[in-house]
Structure 1
Amino acid sequence: MQRSVPVLAVLALGGALLLGGCRYHSHSCHYRGCHVTVSGAGQTVEVSGVHLTVSRISSQGMTVATDGSGPTVIGVGQSTRVGRFKIKVASADNDKVKFDIEGEWIWVRPFL
């Protein structure tokens, strides 16, 4: 029994992941804001109905736009308004950034 095709498929997928990098995001929300983690620049993520475009991540911070606003550079430890939202960068490295976003748009569904 030959298994060359499945092995080749797995190797090809693994190579694509290595070349493309791992991109993901996660978030958790509370009354008026969300804690967000984005890994991999050049992506648009949706957080509670808001589209955030993280175009650059470095050890100094990130470049982000919200719902059509212009791109804004925010350094680690800095807080600034981006469109209708206040964003504060908590930490960043060359591939991953953690930040908080606040605004009246945050809406957390109560448990029923």
Structure 2
Amino acid sequence: MTAATSTRELAHPERTEIRLEDVLHALADPLRLRVVRELAEADRELACSHFDLPVTKSTTTHHFRVLRENGVIRQDYRGTAKMNGLRRADLDALFPGLLDSVLEAAGAQAKRLGGG
């Protein structure tokens, strides 16, 4: 894992360190999957403040950390904002088709259950 060199820099796993079971664990939580769906739909980085999750700030921070530490997202500070980006290129290179399949299934489930 790339170590943080300052308090404003966050540690991320190198591509070669990302494991399938860790990615699946990160995506298994409905709130984390919701974040990933929003990032995929936006196709750009989004600030943490963009996400309106029905949990406390500390729980939100936990969910973002799980996504980051398991190689699903990249987080970088831009001024005072923490920006989040989907590590699509890394995930697609390591696990071809996985992210698209999960996102498609999650979208279909949301429609089926009335969650859009």
Structure whose residues are more often helix by fraction:
2
Q: TM-score, normalization: structure 2?
A: 0.29
Q: TM-score, normalization: structure 1?
A: 0.29
